[in-house]
Structure formats: structure tokens, C-alpha cells
Amino acid sequence: MKSISEDVFKFFLPEENLVSAEELTSGHINDTYLVKGASDKRYIFQKINKDVFPDVPGLIMNKVQVSRHLHKKHTHLPVSERERRVLTFVRSHQGSYHYWDKNGNYWNVTLFVEKSQNFESVEDKSIAYEGGKLFGSFIRDTEDFDPGKLIEVIPKFHDMSFRFDQFDQALKDSSAKRRERAKNLIEKALALRTEMQLLENLKDDGAIRIRVTHNDTKISNALFDHDGKGLCVIDTDTIMPGIIHYDFGDAIRTICNTAREDETNLDLVNFNKEYYDSYLKGYLEALGNSVSAMERKYFPLAAKTMIFIMALRFLTDYLNNDVYYKTSYPEHNLDRSKNQFKLIDSFDSVMGKVS
Ligand code: GN1
Ligand code: MG
């Protein structure tokens, strides 16, 4: 079993004693541990993947700054309650928020949010609604934070042209066997190229406002309390400047999928319009005046675009022999991509034309 070493623990928590560390395996990129100290407090220790993120200290400063900003928005709450609603980063005795270990890996630590739950997929429309309120509040509460103060943790992260460039390259480099296995998906991806470029064109033309966005708003990154009320947005590694559509679309991608992202029985993968409407309702309520008519207009296209970009990225990684995402078995990325393409088919039949 993987664990964390004493030096990492003591760097952040010199007064504490390490009792246990359990690896949490739901993420595809970083290594995450739920750690218990002798004081009975619990923490999340995270080792950031330096192959994926070129500037880890910059990434950590991004999320620490935004957390501080969000804490200020919640000063009306007692500290214990505020720490359940906003991630709290642990600062080391040397004053830094990250540790660089002897193997060259960066670590950061947050307080664990007690009495919370999260979901890999949604089974109740009230969770979709509460998720909408939570992610909408995130956008509203960061509206007055200058996105220019944030680094781009992965340049062009949600840029379709960049993701298509990577896909085109993968097509050239891949084995004939993998290309053959993915033949249908490759055709589907190529057929959607023009439509899936529209949102980026609007962004590049300056028609859509750049703001602080989370960029990984899958539903498992939202914590809820035991009554199912939205509590806290987590996994803030990819906070950077972006457009609201990235966050809206990625949330819809996971909330409205009637199955998990890697479900292999595609009959179970369908787009749930009721959850879409519930999420949108909560989102708009929380956003109030913080969203423009122009931004709202492109929400349906954003949903399709973000489902597609994940389908394309999983497919690209499959063609590249699974070098990016963690996989549990040989065709895991291919299965993820099939799942997302099935979701697009279902989206089209439920939502109709969106561009
Ligand atoms: C990755 O590691 P995780 O699960 O937080 C990915 C997201 C994808 C997601 C798909 C940096 O996030 O973009 O939406 O997998 N993060 C990065 O589940 O590539
Ligand atoms: Mg993430």
C-alpha cells in the first residue's frame, strides 16, 4: 500500500503525529491521501503530478490565492463552518504552502472537510440542483478576483484546436492496431471538428468574457453535507483564467450522464435532461447578475463541447498508449472515450441542435 513519508508530514504538521494515511484513488492525475493525525484531525495530502503540471509552485499559489479570496467572502460564518465551505491550505512552519521532497515531488495539504459526501454519478435531481448552486457560487464569488493574477497551469487546457493538434499527432504516431480498435471513434471525432471549434472561436474573438474558472467541475469535485446540500468545491488544481462554459459544460458532462464516466455497458449511458434543467436552475439562481445573456446563450453548446473534449482526450491518450491518464486495464481509455461519445449521441437526441 502506498503511503506518505514522515518528512512530508512533519514539514506541514511539526506538532502532530502521523496515525494513518489512506490513498484515495478516484483522481486520474495526482496521488491523494486521507491522513489522520494523533489529535484526531484529518487532512488531505496531495502529491502533484509534475509531468502534467509544468509549474507546480505556481499552481499551488493559484489555488491558495483563490481559497483566501473565498474565505474572505465567508467571514460571516464561524471558522469551523467556513473551513467546511472553502478549502483551507496548511501553511508550513517555514511559511510556504508546498513541500519539495527528496525525489523532486511537490506536495500540498488541506484540511479534510468533515461530515461531507461526494458522488461519482448523480441519482437524484436535488443533487444536480445543489451542485448547480455550489458551482454557480464559485463563479459568483470569484467574479471580483482578477484572473490576470493566475498562471495558466496547463496552457490551452480546454482549447479545442490544441486538443485536435494532439489528436492529429497521435493519429500519425499510433499503432495500426490501436487505430483499428478506435476506428469508429476516430471518424466521429473528425466529423465534429468544425462544430466543436465554435466556442473557442467566440473566446478568441473576445465575445465571451475571461474570468476565474475551476476547469474540472466534475460532480465528484463537489462536496455535499449529509442532507445533500452543496458544501465545498474541491480539487482546485486547474483554477486559471477561462470561460464559464468550461465549468458549466464539465459539470453537465458528469451530472447528466446516467452512468459513470467509464461504464462499459453503453445502454446505461444516457443524457438526463431533467438533471440538466435542475443544474441550470441552481446555477442561475446562484449566479444572479454575474452571468450575461451572451454567456447563457452558449450553455447548451458548452455541454456538448465539454463532453466532446473529454471524449477526444481519452481517445488521444489511448492512441498514445495511455501515457497521460491513470488506467486500471489496457483499454480503459478507449472505454472512457466510447462512453463519452455515446453520451454525445444521447445528448443530440435529447437536446437537439445546439449550434
Ligand atoms: C482529470 O485527475 P482528475 O480526475 O482530477 C483531468 C480532467 C478530466 C478528468 C476526467 C489535469 O482530472 O481534465 O476532466 O480527469 N485533469 C487534468 O475525469 O488533465
Ligand atoms: Mg482534477
What's the whole-number mean pLDDT along residues 124-137?
98
- pLDDT given at position 229: 98
Question: CA nearest 242: which of 302, 167, 168?
Answer: 302
Is position 299 within any domain?
yes
Q: Which of 111, 139, 170 is the last residue of a domain?
A: 111
Give the HSE-up count for residue 324: Cα atoms under 13 Å, Cβ half-sphere.
14
Please state the atom number of ligand 1 nearest to the C-alpha of residue 238: 11
Same domain, 90 and 178: no
Residues 6+ apart with CB under 8 A from 250: 215, 216, 217, 218, 306, 310
Question: CA nearest 88: which of 107, 69, 59, 110?
Answer: 110
Q: Which of 111, 141, 165 is the last residue of a domain?
A: 111
Alpha-carbon span 59 to 152, nearest angstrom: 8
Same domain, 209 and 66: no
Can you name the residues that pair with 257 across neighbouring β-strands?
Answer: 271
188-206 confidence digits (pLDDT tens):
999 999 999 999 999 999 9
Amino acid at 110: T
**pTM, 2 dp:** 0.97
Decide: 214 and 138 in contact? Cβ < 8 Å: yes
Please state the atom number of ligand 1 nearest to the C-alpha of residue 310: 14
33-66 confidence digits (pLDDT tens):
999 999 999 999 999 999 999 999 999 999 999 9
Amino acid at 293: A
Amino acid at 198: L
- pLDDT given at position 93: 86
Same domain, 221 and 281: yes
Of the chain, the percentage scoring pLDDT greater than 90 comes to: 98
DSSP 219: G
Is position 1 within any domain?
no
Same domain, 74 and 140: no
Is position 326 within any domain?
yes
Decide: 214 and 247 in contact? Cβ < 8 Å: yes
What CATH number does the domain containing 26 carry?
A: 3.30.200
- pLDDT given at position 253: 98
Residue of the CA atom closest to atom 1 of ligand 1: 28
The C-alpha cell at 311 is 471524449
- Grouping H, G, I as helix, E, B as strand and the rest as coil, residue 288 is helix
Same domain, 232 and 313: yes
Same domain, 54 and 79: yes
Please state the atom number of ligand 1 nearest to the C-alpha of residue 30: 2
Residues 6+ apart with CB under 8 A from 243: 199, 203, 208, 209, 210, 211, 213, 295
- pLDDT given at position 1: 59
Same domain, 133 and 104: no
Same domain, 129 and 66: no
- Grouping H, G, I as helix, E, B as strand and the rest as coil, residue 46 is strand
234-262 confidence digits (pLDDT tens):
999 999 999 999 999 999 999 999 999 99
Please state the atom number of ligand 1 nearest to the C-alpha of residue 324: 19
The answer on pLDDT for 80 being more than 70 is yes
Same domain, 227 and 136: yes
212-241 confidence digits (pLDDT tens):
999 999 999 999 999 999 999 999 999 999
Residues 6+ apart with CB under 8 A from 36: 18, 19, 20, 21, 42, 43
Same domain, 219 and 333: yes
Alpha-carbon span 267 to 94, nearest angstrom: 54
What's the whole-number mean pLDDT along residues 24-30?
94
**Beta strands of 68-173 (E only): which ranges?**
99-100, 106-111
The answer on pLDDT for 179 being more than 90 is yes
* Ligand 1 midpoint to CA 224 (Å): 20
The C-alpha cell at 284 is 442561475
**Closest ligand, as measured to the CA of 235:** 2
Same domain, 155 and 284: yes
The answer on pLDDT for 2 being more than 90 is no
The C-alpha cell at 198 is 465554435
Q: Which of 58, 86, 111 is the last residue of a domain?
A: 111
DSSP 238: G
Total structural domains within the chain: 2
- Among 29, 44, 305, 308, name the best residue to mutate to test ligand 1's pocket (greatest count of ligand atoms within 8 A of Cβ): 29
Print the domain residue range for 90: 6-111
Residue of the CA atom closest to atom 14 of ligand 1: 216
* Ligand 1 midpoint to CA 311 (Å): 12
Same domain, 234 and 148: yes
Is position 120 within any domain?
no
* Ligand 1 midpoint to CA 36 (Å): 26
Is position 183 within any domain?
yes
DSSP 257: B
The answer on pLDDT for 142 being more than 90 is yes
Pocket of ligand 1 (CB under 6 A): 27-29, 52, 216, 218, 235, 238, 261, 310
The C-alpha cell at 219 is 460532480
What CATH number does the domain containing 298 carry?
A: 3.90.1200.10
Q: How distant is the alpha carbon of residue 267 from its chain centre? A: 25
Give the HSE-up count for residue 172: Cα atoms under 13 Å, Cβ half-sphere.
5
